[in-house]
Amino acid sequence: MHELSIAESLISIVEEEVTRNSLQNVTSVKIKVGKLTAVQPEALSSCFELLTENSSLNGVWLDIEMLPIKGYCEDCRQHFELERPFLVCPKCQGWNVRMEGGHELYVDEIETE
């Protein structure tokens, strides 16, 4: 389960930002996660909650936004979104496809009171 190590990294990033910007009373952390990362949102939330239980981030809400898999077809020059990583253009059925999104994983916002 790589969600545990991801949660540990997220906590480190948030704690660094809290210190760097003198933030107080963090209420939520919004992250963006691409579908190709294979992150399970429920597992990540559980790990985050468990790891922050006895810390200054106890009770902080982890808001996870899943981002779509995006591609671009070099043959018909179309941008598109996919539900699964099946690298065929949905318009022309071509295989000359470049992935443009779905691997993201980053902290987007840290909300305070």
pLDDT digits (tens, 9 = 90+) for 72-87: 999 999 999 988 878 8
Residues 22 and 113: their CA atoms lie apart, in Å, by 13
State mean pLDDT over 32-41.
Answer: 96
**Cβ atoms of residues 96 and 74 within 8 Å:** yes
pLDDT value at 30 more than 80: yes
pLDDT value at 1 more than 70: no
Phi, psi for residue 25 in degrees, rounded to 5:
55, 60
Against a cut of 0.85, is the pTM above it?
Answer: yes
CATH architecture of 3-68+102-112: 2-Layer Sandwich (3.30)
State mean pLDDT over 40-48.
Answer: 98
Give me 31's structure tokens. 């992250």
The Cα-based distances of 37 to 28, 46, 67, 79, 101 in angstroms read 22, 17, 10, 20, 10
The per-residue pLDDT for 81 is: 94
